[in-house]
Amino acid sequence: MNTKQGMAPALAAIIALLVIGGGGYAIKKSVDNKEKNKDTVEQVSTDASINANATSTPVTTLQVKLSEQNKSGQSGQAVITQTGTSTVKVVLNLTGKPSGTPQPAHIHVGACPNPGAVKYPLTNVGNGASQTEIPNVTLEQLVSELPLAINVHKSAAEASVYVACGDIMLEAATTTAMEDKDMPKGKETKVTYNSQGFSPKSVTIQKGDTVVFEIKTGKAASIASDPHPMHTGYPEFDQYKSDQRGASTFRFTFDKVGTWQYHDHLNANMTGTVIVTE
């Protein structure tokens, strides 16, 4: 009888310890779960912030590859940029078999090779080039209206015959962040190109410096090294071969010492010189 009475307090103490221990474990588990959930929420919030920043980077340029249609022998590229706050500029260049008549061009609804109705008319292509400013439109608006395509027709009389077509795609966009990242780090020298020619007509820079050509002629232009039309003097110095084809600004970093004469391929009488020293 005394033995049973002695065991009772011991059993009560063991049960109390188990209860307390179990409660402590439950409390610790609850705290751990709260910390884990907090970490998960913070990670999701961070990921969402990263994704938001990635998608909010403004598009500044759209490049459109124009592929040959109906064995026309013509292909090229269009560059779409925003000028000001509400104007979009479209510069279009075609190479290959030249056309003897103006070729109508438009931005159409839909996709190549059979786009739909005309969305925005463009200036007719003449001598392989055209330039159009579309008022009251932004690049953001243009992207929101996709799918769109640029289409060039054989002539006004044969508008049903397409000679080149290209889909406008967001994947081909250049953003402000990308441009800043790829910006040349050397000294920059500006050359303005207007209807009077290049100004200054000759510049002297050091190897590794960049010349920024600002095209303000109001017409399509393509700056390249002499001689015309092969551009073999400095083959890399050729706007048409760069990702800035058709753009109103052409940046080129000179990494070769020498005297480099250049011209506008679409108006070879307009010439200039870049002298590169060590």
pLDDT > 80? residue 100: no
pLDDT > 80? residue 75: yes
Quote the DSSP letter at residue 58.
Answer: P
pLDDT > 70? residue 146: yes
Q: What is the mean pLDDT of the segment spanning 108-136?
A: 90
The DSSP-derived string for 185-244 is: -S-EEEEEEETTEEESSEEEEETT-EEEEEE-SSS---EEESSTTT--SSTT-BGGGSTT
Split at pLDDT 50, 70, 90, the class of 108 is very high
In this prediction, residue 272 carries a pLDDT of 96
Greatest mean pLDDT range, 38-42, 48-52, 72-76, 133-137: 133-137
In this prediction, residue 225 carries a pLDDT of 96
- Per the CB < 8 A criterion, the answer to whether 221 and 193 are in contact is yes
In this prediction, residue 184 carries a pLDDT of 46
pLDDT greater at residue 247 or residue 16? 247
Q: What percent of the chain has pLDDT over 90?
A: 45
Nearest to 252 by CA among 264, 261, 242: 242
CATH architecture of 183-277: Sandwich (2.60)
Nearest to 206 by CA among 175, 185, 176: 185
107 contact partners, CB below 8 Å, separation of at least 6: 90, 118, 119, 120, 122, 148, 149, 150, 168
Phi, psi of 258 (to 5 degrees): 155, 180
**Pick from 123-127, 167-171, 237-241, 259-263: least confident:** 167-171
In this prediction, residue 50 carries a pLDDT of 37
Which tens digits make up the pLDDT trace of 1-51? 455 555 555 555 555 555 455 545 444 444 455 554 444 434 434 443 433
Which tens digits make up the pLDDT trace of 160-201? 899 999 999 876 555 544 444 444 457 999 999 999 999 999
Query: What CATH number has the domain spanning 59-175?
Result: 2.60.40.200
- Per the CB < 8 A criterion, the answer to whether 215 and 81 are in contact is no
Residue 92 forms beta bridges with which residues? 78, 130
Q: How many CB atoms lie within 10 A of CB 213?
A: 24
Nearest to 220 by CA among 187, 254, 251, 245: 245
Q: Where are the alpha helices (DSSP H) in the chain?
A: 2-56, 139-144, 176-182
Nearest to 209 by CA among 119, 260, 276: 276
In this prediction, residue 59 carries a pLDDT of 63
In this prediction, residue 47 carries a pLDDT of 42
In this prediction, residue 128 carries a pLDDT of 80
* Beta strand 202-206 pairing with 188-194: unpaired
In this prediction, residue 126 carries a pLDDT of 85
Q: Where are the alpha helices (DSSP H) in 81-174?
A: 139-144
Average pLDDT of every residue of the chain: 79
Coil, strand or helix: which one is 111? coil
pLDDT > 90? residue 86: no
In this prediction, residue 43 carries a pLDDT of 45
pLDDT > 50? residue 219: yes
Split at pLDDT 50, 70, 90, the class of 213 is very high
Token pair recorded at residue 255: 């990494």
Q: What is the mean pLDDT of the segment spanning 242-270?
A: 94
Domain ranges, ordered by start, for the chain? 59-175, 183-277
